[in-house]
Amino acid sequence: MTGTVSIAGVELTPLRQIEDARGAVLHMLRADSPGFAGFGECYFSQVNPGSVKAWKRHQVQTQNLAVPTGRVRFVIYDARESSHTHGRTDVIELGRPDCYARLCIPPMLYYGFACMSASAALIANCADRPHDPAESESLAPEALAQGGPLSLLLAGLTS
Amino acid sequence: MTGTVSIAGVELTPLRQIEDARGAVLHMLRADSPGFAGFGECYFSQVNPGSVKAWKRHQVQTQNLAVPTGRVRFVIYDARESSHTHGRTDVIELGRPDCYARLCIPPMLYYGFACMSASAALIANCADRPHDPAESESLAPEALAQGGPLSLLLAGLTS
Chain B touched by A94 (CB under 8 Å): no
What pLDDT does A156 receive? 66
Residue B68's pLDDT is 98
| CB contact (8 A) between residue A32 and residue B115 | no
CB contact under 8 A, B31 and A48: no
Cβ atoms of A69 and A46 closer than 8 Å: no
Q: Amino acid identity of B130?
A: P
Q: How far apart are CA A94 and CA A83, in angstroms?
A: 25
Q: Does A31 touch chain B (CB under 8 A)?
A: yes
Cβ pair A43:B24 closer than 8 A = no
Rounded Cα gap, residues A99 and A66, in angstroms: 10
A154: enclosing H helix or E strand: helix A149-158
**A85 within domain boundaries:** yes
A22 to B52: CB separation less than 8 angstroms, yes or no: yes
Cβ-defined contact of B53 to A26 (cutoff 8 Å):
no
Q: Give domain status of residue B150, yes or no.
A: yes
Residue A49: closest C-alpha in chain B: B22
A132 touches chain B (CB under 8 A): no
DSSP A11-27: EEEE--EE--TT--EEE
Q: Quick check: A36 pLDDT over 80?
A: yes
The rounded Cα B72 to chain-centroid distance in angstroms is 8
Q: Is A98 left (phi over 0), alpha (psi -120 to 50) or beta?
A: alpha
Is residue A158 very low, low, confident or very high in pLDDT (cuts 50, 70, 90)?
A: low
Higher pLDDT, A92 or A2: A92
Q: List CB contacts of B121: < 8 A, sequence separation 6 or more.
A: A23, B46, B47, B67, B69, B70, B71, B72, B95, B115
DSSP string, B131-157: --GGGEEE--GGGG-TTSHHHHHHHHH
- Is position A2 within any domain? no
In whole angstroms, what is the distance from residue B6 CA to residue B67 CA? Answer: 20
Contact flag A42-B124 (C-beta cutoff 8 Å): yes
* pTM of the complete model: 0.95
CA–CA separation, B28 and A77 (whole Å): 28
pLDDT grade for A1, boundaries at 50, 70 and 90: low
Please report the pLDDT score of residue B144 as a whole number.
Answer: 87
The reply to whether B2 falls in a domain is no
Give contacts of B24 with chain A, Cβ < 8 Å: 45-46
What average pLDDT does range A57-81 have in this prediction? 97
Average pLDDT, chain A: 94
Render each residue's pLDDT in chain B as its tens digit; 159 residues: 667 899 999 999 999 999 999 999 999 999 999 989 999 999 999 999 999 999 999 999 999 999 999 999 999 999 999 999 999 999 999 999 999 999 999 999 999 999 999 999 999 999 999 999 999 999 999 888 776 888 888 886 754
Contact B31, A126 (CB under 8 A): no
Number of structural domains (chain A) is: 1
Q: Is there a domain that residue B122 lies in?
A: yes
Task: Read off the pLDDT band of A48 (50, 70, 90).
Answer: very high
Sheet with B136-138, edge to edge strand ranges: B89-95, B71-77, B110-115, B52-58, B136-138
The answer on pLDDT for A159 being more than 50 is no
- Structural domain of residue B114, as residue ranges? 11-154
Look up the ipTM and state it.
0.95
At B146 the pLDDT is 72
According to DSSP, residue A150 is labeled H
pLDDT at A14 over 70: yes
* CA atoms of B15 and B50, how far apart (whole Å): 26
Query: What's the CATH number where B77 sits?
Result: 2.60.120.10
B30 in any annotated domain: yes
pLDDT on residue A112: 97
**Mutation for A interface: B15, B18, B33, B39, most A CBs within 10 A:** B39
Interface test with A, best of B122, B132, B157 (most A CBs within 10 A): B122
pLDDT at B159: 46
Asked if residue B137 belongs to a domain, the reply is yes
User: CA A113, CA A136: separation in Å to the nearest integer?
Assistant: 16
Give pLDDT, residue A40. Answer: 98
Answer for the pair B130, B152: CB distance below 8 angstroms, yes or no. no
